[in-house]
């Protein structure tokens, strides 16, 4: 039976659907103001895997993952680019979809955008005010009154008194309590806004997820996921909003994936070790290598990214495809192998063990091939395909996969154009170090670029 570590209780619990045979899950998606990075890729891949495995386990899954398409960062970036904010958000949402497709992630069943749910957001804020959980502050913002929600801090294991003591010296006089957070931001001149009973404004980030998840999955649903960094305050605030507004429990199981670290350091733009997904994909034989790497560690722990780790993932994946190459077809997968994989995955999605099961099957397949045992080889090959498919791996033609060179050769025209676009973005926001890094990466792939007057960039293969 599938057990999932519930961040709310700190324990692995058997999954108990609210409706028999059905699971409703919501995952906090991306704020679309830039290309997605490795941290996003991990979150997206982890929950793609969770969704696939829940479905393979026989549940009818509804997977909702939102897009935050209105946010301070979007407004700031658009202003810096001299670009319309809606155009910028659309552009980076499209880029995110391209990257997800490259990683062979299945699209969520529903992908709400915050700006499409303003009515639901305004309605929920209205309920919170009516119930006394929110108030209109002197500066025109609507704030959530944290002290009204007794269970605040339960998910992150924080005590309200400690949080309050740790809160910065209050500069925002409009707040009745330093922990209060914004539900509706009063419009500032020149910023996008929508009408509301409290004046023109725009939603805070936290209320979006409460309103969209409730609108699409109901007041109380099975599973909510996101990156570890969202546990506090974002998810804590979602719970406070939804439980108060709906008067029901919100979510049964909370799942949080760990961070991506780079060469054992935190990934950050200021440290210059920041990788977008398209940058990384441009260096790989195939995007499947990144997927393999991302699921090679258990989702709850940190994962350390380095070129050596990626090379290791590449080598292991090559080994699995070599085992499949030339293997006889037409076999029936071995139920015992599937049972071993399910045993690992049922244990809170233990992918390192699941991948070890795959490697064991590949070893048996190699032996059967070497010894000319055709029927056994066909069985193992079918197993390897089936189990790989459950993890989103090994679905390509082995010969085609093995023919592909690592690195430069896979930089097709579209990848080159994408990198040049990313460099243009970086330079537009005056991030010249990032721009130079992308130029070096192109050079390493044998692509020479030349900046033309007027901002265009020409390129040719050396
Ligand atoms: Zn969220």
pTM (2 d.p.): 0.87
User: How would residue 411 be classed by pLDDT, with cut points 50, 70 and 90?
Assistant: low
On whether the CB atoms of residues 50 and 25 are closer than 8 A, the answer is yes
Tell me the mean pLDDT in the region 408-433: 76
The two three-digit tokens of residue 93, written as one number: 């949402």
Q: Please, what is the average pLDDT of the chain?
A: 92
Ligand 1 centroid from CA 209, angstroms: 5
| Alpha-helix residue ranges (DSSP H) falling in 8-103 | 38-56, 72-81, 85-102
The two three-digit tokens of residue 182, written as one number: 């914004």
Residues 6 or more apart whose CB falls under 8 angstroms from that of 433 comprise: 272
Ligand 1 centroid from CA 28, angstroms: 4
Ligand 1 centroid from CA 265, angstroms: 26
Chain segment 338-387, per-residue pLDDT in tens: 999 999 999 999 999 999 999 999 999 999 999 999 999 999 999 999 99
Ligand 1 centroid from CA 236, angstroms: 10
Handedness of CA 159, 161, 166, 169 (dihedral sign): positive
Ligand 1 centroid from CA 66, angstroms: 8
The two three-digit tokens of residue 361, written as one number: 């099957």
- Is the backbone peptide bond immediately before 233 cis, with ω within 30 degrees of 0? yes
Q: What percent of the chain has pLDDT over 90?
A: 76
Pick the CATH number of 307-403 from 1.10.3720.10, 1.20.120.640, 3.30.360.10, 3.30.1330.40: 1.20.120.640
Tell me the mean pLDDT in the region 437-459: 83
Ligand 1 centroid from CA 443, angstroms: 39
Ligand 1 centroid from CA 380, angstroms: 42
Ligand 1 centroid from CA 414, angstroms: 32
Edge to edge, the sheet with strand 60-68 lists 60-68, 22-31, 221-227, 251-257
Q: State the residue for tokens 């980076």.
A: 92
pLDDT at 169: 53
Ligand 1 centroid from CA 251, angstroms: 13
Q: Which CATH class is domain 17-260?
A: alpha beta
Residues with Cβ within 5 Å of ion ligand 1? 28, 209
Ligand 1 centroid from CA 112, angstroms: 12
Ligand 1 centroid from CA 113, angstroms: 12
Tell me the mean pLDDT in the region 103-108: 94
Tell me the mean pLDDT in the region 422-428: 84
Chain segment 293-306, per-residue pLDDT in tens: 999 999 999 999 98
DSSP strand pairing (201-203 vs 221-227): unpaired
Ligand 1 centroid from CA 110, angstroms: 14
On whether the CB atoms of residues 441 and 449 are closer than 8 A, the answer is no
On whether the CB atoms of residues 299 and 46 are closer than 8 A, the answer is yes
C-alpha closest to that of 38 among 235, 269, 202? 269
Ligand 1 centroid from CA 216, angstroms: 14
Chain segment 25-56, per-residue pLDDT in tens: 999 999 999 999 999 999 999 999 999 999 99
Residue 409 has pLDDT above 70, yes or no: no
The two three-digit tokens of residue 321, written as one number: 């495809």
């Amino acid at each position: 039976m599938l057990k999932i570590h519930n961040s709310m209780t700190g324990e692995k619990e058997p999954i108990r659907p609210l409706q028999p045979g059905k699971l409703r899950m919501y995952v906090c998606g991306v704020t679309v103001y830039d290309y997605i990075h490795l941290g996003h890729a991990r979150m997206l891949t982890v929950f793609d895997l969770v969704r696939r495995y829940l479905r393979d386990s026989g549940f009818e899954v509804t997977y909702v993952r939102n897009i935050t398409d209105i946010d301070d960062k979007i407004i700031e970036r658009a202003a810096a680019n001299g670009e319309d904010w809606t155009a910028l958000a659309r552009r980076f949402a499209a880029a995110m979809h391209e990257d997800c497709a490259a990683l062979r992630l299945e699209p969520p069943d529903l992908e709400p955008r915050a700006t499409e749910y303003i009515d639901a957001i305004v309605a929920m804020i209205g309920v919170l005010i009516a119930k006394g959980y929110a108030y209109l502050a002197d500066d025109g913002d609507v704030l959530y009154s944290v002290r009204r929600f007794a269970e605040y801090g339960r998910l992150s294991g924080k005590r309200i008194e400690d949080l309050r003591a740790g809160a910065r010296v209050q500069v925002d006089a409009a707040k009745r309590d330093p922990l209060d957070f914004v539900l509706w931001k009063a419009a500032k001149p020149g910023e996008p806004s929508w009408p509301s009973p409290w004046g023109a404004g725009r939603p805070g980030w936290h209320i979006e997820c409460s309103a969209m998840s409730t609108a699409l999955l109901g007041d109380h649903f099975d599973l909510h996921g996101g990156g570890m960094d969202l546990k506090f305050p974002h998810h804590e605030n979602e719970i406070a909003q939804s439980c108060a507004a709906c008067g029901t429990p919100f979510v049964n199981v909370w799942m949080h994936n760990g961070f991506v670290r780079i060469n054992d350091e935190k990934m950050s733009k200021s440290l210059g070790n920041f990788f977008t997904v398209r940058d990384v994909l441009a260096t790989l034989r195939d995007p499947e290598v990144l997927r393999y790497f991302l699921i090679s560690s258990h989702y709850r722990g940190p994962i350390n990214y380095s070129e050596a780790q990626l090379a290791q993932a590449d080598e292991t994946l090559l080994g699995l495809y070599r085992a499949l190459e030339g293997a006889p077809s037409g076999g029936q997968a071995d139920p015992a192998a599937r049972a071993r994989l399910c045993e690992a995955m049922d244990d809170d999605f233990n992918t390192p063990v699941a991948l070890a099961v795959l490697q064991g099957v590949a070893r048996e397949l190699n032996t059967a091939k070497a010894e000319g045992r055709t029927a056994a080889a066909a069985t193992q090959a079918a197993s390897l395909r089936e189990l790989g498919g459950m993890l989103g791996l090994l679905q390509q033609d082995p010969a085609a996969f093995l023919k592909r060179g690592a690195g430069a050769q896979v930089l097709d025209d579209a990848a080159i154009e994408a990198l040049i676009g990313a460099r243009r973005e970086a330079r537009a926001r005056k991030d010249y170090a990032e721009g130079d890094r992308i130029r070096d990466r192109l050079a390493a792939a044998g692509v020479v670029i030349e900046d033309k007057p007027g901002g265009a960039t020409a390129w040719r293969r050396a």
